[in-house]
Amino acid sequence: MPIEFTHVPGKSRPAHASFFYDFVETATKLSLIEDAGFRKIVVDDPAGLLTNMDLAAQALGRTSSLEVVLSHWAGVIEPTVAARQLAALDAKSGGRLSLRMLSEPLSDDDAEMRPVGHTVVWQRTDEYMVLLKRLWSNDRPFDHEGAFYSIKAGYVPRKGPHGADVTIRMGGQSGTALKVAGRHADVFELTPGSLDEIRQLIDRVRSAAAEHGRAGKLRFALPVRFGSHGNTVACQKAVEIAGPPAQVALALLPYAALGIQEFMIVGVDRPREIAFAARETIALLRNSLARREADVPQPGAFASRVTGEARAPS
């Protein structure tokens, strides 16, 4: 199975040491990330949604093949405005944008936009996603009156290259979250845990997607952290695996056997770390998977060979 690697910048202390603070330096790192074999980079700066969109535009402008995963959430921008801006960004990048829908703002900057109640949060996200997709696909204006949004003559004349098929990423564990993800997500970001816990979550997500005829259309991504990064804030939960590259690659194999096709590598931000990850861990994992698939072509057949399980930090 093809495995993709996504770079997830860590949150550093102090704030001015964050990945996107100095964009001249960031441009150099983006080039290294692109050359290292990473397929995507996540933009989820704590400065807020509008800053994320600006950073995504800069990252797309400084790279040629790297896809940008833009963290986004409902409630800050009206759907018509968001759909127009996102379509323009996707078009300018040649279709390299994907949308990572969070249920909550990343910081308290947008806290006033947060509705009360978990179920209400996801209901609003659901309506927001329905409207985005409709705005990206409709060939004429439409009206909408819903629980959270009211639109008159909503229309986006300039669609992105993928229309309504922009890749949508979601996550969560509650029944409500999985119901919304099953309807909208193309990629589901798994909550870290043991192999059994992740297997059970994958089954639940597929069951939720099956209600919409989408069980076979989902890909699964897992956040992973290589060892401990003392200078970064652990705001991104991840399976933490320590050891030499060969040991790390071996530890990731059983997760791949579950059907995970993307590893989100968290906090590998220094140029030397980026180069080392590409030269060692990523290359070893890809080679190991190629050898295992040559020996055992059936998906999931080698999961039982690995007895140890890497767990996320509690």
**DSSP structure string for 77-134:** S-HHHHHHHHHHHHHHTTS-EEEEE-SS-SSGGGGGGPPSSHHHHHHHHHHHHHHHHH
Q: Among 136-140, 143-147, 240-244, where is mean pLDDT lowest?
A: 240-244
Q: What is the mean pLDDT of residues 156-183?
A: 95
H-helix or E-strand spanning residue 240: strand 239-241
DSSP 170: E
**CB 232 within 8 Å of CB 11:** yes
Task: Report the C-alpha gap between 180 and 125 in whole angstroms.
Answer: 8
pLDDT at 117 > cutoff 90 = no
Q: What residues does each domain of the chain span?
A: 4-295
- The tens digit of pLDDT for each residue in 178-220 reads 999 999 999 999 999 999 999 999 999 999 999 999 988 999 9
pLDDT at 104: 67
- CATH number, domain 4-295: 3.20.20.30
Q: Which residues contact 63 (CB under 8 A, 6 or more apart)?
A: 30, 31, 34, 96
- CA-nearest of 243, 192, 231 to 10 is 231
State residue 12's pLDDT score.
56
The more confident residue out of 17 and 306 is 17
Average pLDDT over residues 278-282: 82
Instruction: Quote the pLDDT of residue 229.
Output: 52
In this prediction, residue 282 carries a pLDDT of: 87
Whether pLDDT at 287 is above 90: no
* Local confidence band at 170 (pLDDT 50, 70, 90 cut-offs): very high
